[in-house]
Every structure is written in structure tokens, then in C-alpha cells.
Amino acid sequence: MSGAKPLNKLIDQFLQSIGIKEKIEENFAFVYWDSVVGKEISERTEPFKMVKGNLFVKVKDAAWRNELQFFKNEIIEKLNKKIGKNVVSDIKFF
């Protein structure tokens, strides 16, 4: 069985070959958003789109939108750490 590959490697190769691996990795930003930003922020925000590493997030009001700009780099770092790969390069708050 020297030629056998671990199942996770085979799945990874398959997802890559059909062109959806990147999309799946990007979707983890949505999955982990609430746990990364915490309850107070998650109640006021909603990530809705990911395009080429840019995560687009709706924010309920302008004051929170401005406040979140100060935490953007920290949120990006935490999301990428949780995902295990640098998937999010920027966050656009709307």
C-alpha cells in the first residue's frame, strides 16, 4: 500500500480538479463569522458575498460600520487562522 494516499488528500485533489476547492474554502468565512466576531458584532452584521478574497458584510448602522473599520485587520487574521489558510484578504463593510 505504498501508493495509497490519505482520503483527505484525495478529496482535496478532486475538489481542485473540478474547480470548486477555492469556493468551498471561501465559504468557511461565512461559517466562522459569528464565532470570530462574537455575539455583539454578529447581531449587527451579515456577511453576504465573497469575491476574489474580498468579504462583503452588511452592517446595520453607520456607527458600527465605522467602528468595524478599526477591527478589520484583526477580524481578517482571526478568520484566516480559523480557516487554516489565507482566504480573506479584505473586508468591505456596507
Q: Which domain holds residue 51?
A: 22-93
Which has the closest alpha carbon to 77: 66, 68, 67, 87?
Answer: 87
Domain with residue 85: its CATH number is 3.30.300.180
Stated pTM of the model: 0.82
pLDDT attached to residue 2: 60
42 lies in some domain: yes
Per-residue pLDDT, averaged over 72-91, amounts to: 97
9 lies in some domain: no
pLDDT tens profile 3-27 = 777 888 888 788 788 878 888 888 9
- Report yes or no: 76 and 68 within 8 Å, Cβ to Cβ: no
Distance from first CA to last CA of the chain, Å, rounded?
53
Taking the C-alpha atoms of residue 19 and residue 12, their distance in angstroms, rounded to an integer, is 11
15 lies in some domain: no
Instruction: Count how many domains the chain has.
Output: 1
Taking the C-alpha atoms of residue 13 and residue 90, their distance in angstroms, rounded to an integer, is 27
17 lies in some domain: no
What count of Cα atoms within 13 Å lies in the side-chain half-sphere of residue 19? 0
pLDDT attached to residue 30: 97
12 lies in some domain: no
